[in-house]
Chain A
């Protein structure tokens, strides 16, 4: 028992305890607080004692604290609570309180501990758990935990989403509920493994969210105290991974196919010089089997001393990392290879192909070149594409092109001449391609542009496989040969092929050579002529002495000349020759020989003479004759021509007939049509109108004959004119007469029609009425009416008869009318005055611009009738809407006649409908006005009787205008 000591100890404990000790009364006022309050809350004891604890409490904790204290008061038991006090510096201090109510003291004893650190620790723990939870829940992988019974105890959100289930549906169920039978079985098998403590991993094909994908699934056993309590499963979508893998595999396969199908042999060698891949072409070329090669070292297959070229290049590629390309001979295979080596990180990729044939061919060419270089001929070796691979010195000497500038070019590019015969080359090419040698000659040009004729022989050279490899061309310069040949050809062409005779004489005039033409022309053979003077054999009695003298002089002067001469054939037949004689001079300038070319112009001479005779005849004929040269220039005209046209021979000579005789016409159509015929040598005839020198015109019948020369081409034209003017005029008269007859016949037909209609109309009426009257009671109204109508019918009949009389009298009067000079103005004044009453009634006005002295030579009565009818028509068919105005104007007046217009502003008529019959008898264009339809007919017939005519224009509602032509003569 040591109460005091324990008391002292207690006080010390309280004083030094980090916990706050205190007492408060039942109202909450602090009676005592231990020193610890300074540390915990930052207040001194004195500052707290006597104050209510609630003042220092966090306002959120007031209610809970009060409640806890009240419970402690009531129950008298220990109470414990947590709340927060506000530190003097303002921050909240979480505290854990233990308190007990002492009934005796009436205090509440309490101990408070600052739990800031514990609180912080706890928060951190909670946060961590939340974080893990979130990680678990939000993991993109599907995660779930199964217990030993295979039931799901935990899943994440991804799981629920993937299977489309809620947590309640999943927890406590086996996973197999959500899987297809196959996958469920798989899962179960691996779960068993995991429950035995072995982590497992496997691929799972799941159809989730409507899509079959591949999932990498791992199951880990959950071990608690050395005992497996369940398995933790993570399911990861690895579909993209799987797909990429498959793609890679596919591509590898494709690459393999490519490598197998390429025509080159191919292999890969790794950095340890071991074969890692060979294709089938490799097997074929090397005769190594794939399985014997792969994994083997290069050195095992090929001893390095035998193939130094290969190994040197391989090493170089491997060391430098740069591709290498080389040709080399492999003694193992007895073949030349073209090798391409591509280094990479993995090692080397090697492509190679067999070029043995090519190399051999090249070697062959080289050997050939060696031979060719020693010949003086040009030798060219070309590839099958005709590109030059080699030329020898002979070629260079001939063409000027050196080996270096020739290689790679085609011969035609170097030597091509504008006149090179391409077709020859094409046929040579054909031969080459079919394997035959070819020989040809071709015109080329040298480097300096000189013509170079080459004779070329080409031989194809074949490779071992029989294909064309090279062309060897051997060329010989034949330029000089060709030149001679051409000259020869020209010469022989001139001399022997010509139809003309050629004679070559020496300077002494003795014949050295004659051609076939000469023999043909003269009948003398070369042997007969040799050594003789041509003249001595050919000239005869009719040969013109003057010509012989002229020739002798010209030969002495040694200048070229031409002359025409009569010679005699061997048969004695006389011929005309045109001679062209040319002296040929030697180097020193003196004449060495003469060349004479003779043309037979006998025919031409004959024609000429005939023409002369013809002219003689022609000059005496009455017809007009002209002779024109081939260019249609007049050479000669006879007196008849001068008589007909007025042009004399000097005036006409040198002019063309068309210009002379057709000043105004543009070419003669009749002639153009027949021209072809004329040029063929036929005579042509046509008629044409020519103009004489006086300007008068004349109709002539023309006959043209062409005279053809030896080439069947016209050399002259003979044109004969016969004056047919009178005939032509009669012809025209006749056609005029026909026209007249035609018109009169037409008139007659019309007249018949008129008689049929208009004369018979009143007759028919009268007939009908007269008949009817016999059937009607004389006392009836009808009788009187009919009688009146009968009377009218007869009056009408009379009128028509009178019209006929008028018309017939006009027709009869034609040609024997009494004419006098009549003033138009006076006639019109008479007409106006006779119609003055009607004019006054309608207020019509007539105006004119005519001069009183304007006269025509005509029948006055007719003229009166014309204007009377026009004016009375104007009055009758005036418009009620306006005052009648008639205007008469003279448009133009000449010696021959005058043009008048007669215009009104009346009703007008439809010209379109009436055009045909305006001026016809008994034609009418108004139904509402009375009239016989004779007025305009009379206007026309009267006008025509005096040689005039009339036209009309009209518009309904505007008026009518007549144009009247009156002749003065």
Chain B
């Protein structure tokens, strides 16, 4: 079971990783400080390269969260991801426009406002039986 964190903010990554750990997630988390790096990692490998869960920040330099989602479609990775992985947007933005915009991306399972809370982590895991198992074990 793997989780990708895509966020240019080191502090935010620290916080999310810590929260996951506190909720008992012991498996691998991989963090990317830019969307481009994450895109490369997803595109390069086979199905193994795709994690089970991605937390995606929106406000990033060069390629922002939306740019990343567009790039996935452009690289024809959508179906590969859809089959295995859920993407959650994790943003500090409270802008309603961002929430509405997620509806245009079917790949996105939900939008979470930073900081992520225990209940939210628990909810996400409950939506993903595999992940849930990996916790209970």
Chain A residues in the interface with B (C-beta under 8 A): 752-753, 756-758, 760-765, 767-769, 771-772, 775-776, 782, 785-786, 789, 792-793, 796, 913, 922-927, 933
In the complex, which of the residues A764, A772, A923 contacts B22, with contact meaning CB atoms closer than 8 Å? A772
Q: Is the CB of B18 within 8 A of A772?
A: yes
Task: Give the interface segment out of B79-87, B110-118, B128-136.
Answer: B110-118
Question: Does B39 lie at the interface of the complex (its beta carbon under 8 Å from any beta carbon of A)?
Answer: no
Q: How far is the CA of A361 from the CA of B20 in the complex (A)?
A: 128
**Can you name 9 A-B pairs with beta carbons within 8 Å?**
A757-B92, A757-B95, A760-B92, A760-B93, A765-B12, A767-B115, A768-B115, A924-B62, A925-B62
- Which chain B residues lie closer than 8 Å to A785 at the CB level? 14
Q: How far is the CA of A924 from the CA of B59 in the complex (A)?
A: 10
Q: Is the CB of A927 within 8 A of B94?
A: no
Q: How far is the CA of A785 from the CA of B115 in the complex (A)?
A: 17
Closest chain B residue to A754, Cβ basis: B59
Q: Which 4 A-B pairs have the closest CB atoms?
A: A768-B115, A924-B61, A764-B114, A927-B34
Closest chain A residue to B58, Cβ basis: A757
Q: Is the CB of B62 within 8 A of A926?
A: yes
Closest chain B residue to A914, Cβ basis: B62
Q: Is the CB of A768 within 8 A of B114?
A: yes
Interface on chain A toward B: helix, strand, loop, or mixed SS?
helix
Q: Is the CB of A761 within 8 A of B14?
A: no
Q: Which of A756, A771, A785 has the most CB of B within 10 A?
A: A756
Contact A765:B114 (CB < 8 A) given known A775-B22, A786-B18, A789-B15: yes
Q: Is the CB of B115 within 8 A of A925?
A: no
- Which chain B residues lie closer than 8 Å to A768 at the CB level? 15, 19, 114-116
- B39 nearest CB across to chain A (Å): 12
Q: Is the CB of B93 within 8 A of A757?
A: yes
Question: Does B11 lie at the interface of the complex (its beta carbon under 8 Å from any beta carbon of A)?
Answer: yes
Closest chain B residue to A927, Cβ basis: B34
Q: Is the CB of A765 within 8 A of B18?
A: no
Q: Is the CB of B93 within 8 A of A772?
A: no
Q: Which of A767, A768, A796, A933 has the most CB of B within 10 A?
A: A768
- Which chain A residues lie closer than 8 Å to B34 at the CB level? 927
In the complex, which of the residues B19, B33, B62, B95 contacts A772, with contact meaning CB atoms closer than 8 Å? B19
Q: Is the CB of B61 within 8 A of A756?
A: no
Q: Count chain B residues whose beta carbon lies closer than 8 angstroms to a beta carbon of A.
A: 27
- B54 nearest CB across to chain A (Å): 18
Q: How far is the CA of A339 from the CA of B114 in the complex (A)?
A: 124
- Which chain A residues lie closer than 8 Å to B22 at the CB level? 772, 775-776
Question: Does B36 lie at the interface of the complex (its beta carbon under 8 Å from any beta carbon of A)?
Answer: yes
Closest chain A residue to B36, Cβ basis: A927
Q: Which of B1-35 contact A (CB under 8 A)?
A: 8-9, 11-12, 14-15, 18-19, 22, 33-34
- A608 nearest CB across to chain B (Å): 72
- A921 nearest CB across to chain B (Å): 12
Q: How far is the CA of A927 from the CA of B68 in the complex (A)?
A: 14
Q: How far is the CA of A776 from the CA of B95 in the complex (A)?
A: 31
In the complex, which of the residues B36, B95, B114 contacts A761, with contact meaning CB atoms closer than 8 Å? B114
Q: Which of A752, A771, A933 has the most CB of B within 10 A?
A: A771
Q: How far is the CA of A786 from the CA of B14 in the complex (A)?
A: 8
Q: Which of B67-104 contact A (CB under 8 A)?
A: 91-95
Closest chain B residue to A931, Cβ basis: B61
Q: Is the CB of A926 within 8 A of B94?
A: no
- B81 nearest CB across to chain A (Å): 22
Contact A760:B15 (CB < 8 A) given known A765-B115, A771-B115, A926-B62: no
Q: How far is the CA of A796 from the CA of B8 in the complex (A)?
A: 14
Q: Is the CB of B61 within 8 A of A760?
A: no
Contact A756:B12 (CB < 8 A) given known A782-B18, A926-B61: no
- Which chain A residues lie closer than 8 Å to B9 at the CB level? 761, 765
- Which chain A residues lie closer than 8 Å to B18 at the CB level? 772, 782, 786
Q: Is the CB of A757 within 8 A of B61?
A: no
Q: How far is the CA of A786 from the CA of B19 in the complex (A)?
A: 11
- Which chain B residues lie closer than 8 Å to A782 at the CB level? 18
Q: Is the CB of B93 within 8 A of A769?
A: no
Contact A925:B61 (CB < 8 A) given known A761-B12, A768-B15, A793-B11: yes
Q: How far is the CA of A760 from the CA of B93 in the complex (A)?
A: 7
- A50 nearest CB across to chain B (Å): 131
In the complex, which of the residues A757, A758, A764, A923 contacts B115, with contact meaning CB atoms closer than 8 Å? A764
Q: How far is the CA of A913 from the CA of B62 in the complex (A)?
A: 8
Q: How far is the CA of A406 from the CA of B12 in the complex (A)?
A: 118
Q: Is the CB of B15 within 8 A of A753?
A: no
Q: How far is the CA of A913 from the CA of B70 in the complex (A)?
A: 14
Q: How far is the CA of A395 from the CA of B93 in the complex (A)?
A: 113
Q: Is the CB of A789 within 8 A of B94?
A: no
Known: A757-B91, A772-B19, A927-B62; 16 extra A-B contacts, CB below 8 A, are A760-B94, A760-B114, A761-B12, A762-B11, A764-B92, A764-B114, A765-B15, A767-B114, A768-B15, A768-B115, A786-B18, A925-B61, A927-B33, A927-B34, A927-B36, A927-B60
- A676 nearest CB across to chain B (Å): 51
- Which chain A residues lie closer than 8 Å to B92 at the CB level? 757, 760-761, 763-765
- B44 nearest CB across to chain A (Å): 18
Q: Which of A786, A793, A927 has the most CB of B within 10 A?
A: A927
Q: How far is the CA of A768 from the CA of B12 in the complex (A)?
A: 9
Q: Is the CB of A789 within 8 A of B14?
A: yes
Closest chain A residue to B115, Cβ basis: A768
Q: Is the CB of A772 within 8 A of B94?
A: no
Closest chain A residue to B60, Cβ basis: A927
- B49 nearest CB across to chain A (Å): 21
- B99 nearest CB across to chain A (Å): 11
Q: How far is the CA of A768 from the CA of B22 in the complex (A)?
A: 13
Closest chain A residue to B90, Cβ basis: A764
Q: How far is the CA of A829 from the CA of B105 in the complex (A)?
A: 51
- Which chain A residues lie closer than 8 Å to B115 at the CB level? 764-765, 767-769, 771
Contact A756:B93 (CB < 8 A) given known A765-B114, A789-B11: yes
Closest chain B residue to A763, Cβ basis: B92
- A963 nearest CB across to chain B (Å): 24
- A773 nearest CB across to chain B (Å): 10
- B12 nearest CB across to chain A (Å): 6
- Which chain B residues lie closer than 8 Å to A758 at the CB level? 59
- Which chain A residues lie closer than 8 Å to B33 at the CB level? 927
In the complex, which of the residues B14, B58, B95, B113 contacts A764, with contact meaning CB atoms closer than 8 Å? B113
Q: Which of B60, B91, B92 has the most CB of A within 10 A?
A: B92
- B118 nearest CB across to chain A (Å): 8
- Which chain B residues lie closer than 8 Å to A792 at the CB level? 11
Q: How far is the CA of A926 from the CA of B34 in the complex (A)?
A: 10
- Which chain B residues lie closer than 8 Å to A793 at the CB level? 11
Q: Is the CB of A769 within 8 A of B15?
A: yes
- A269 nearest CB across to chain B (Å): 103
Closest chain B residue to A768, Cβ basis: B115
Q: How far is the CA of A789 from the CA of B117 in the complex (A)?
A: 17
In the complex, which of the residues B61, B93, B113 contacts A927, with contact meaning CB atoms closer than 8 Å? B61
- Which chain B residues lie closer than 8 Å to A927 at the CB level? 8, 33-34, 36, 60-62
- B69 nearest CB across to chain A (Å): 16
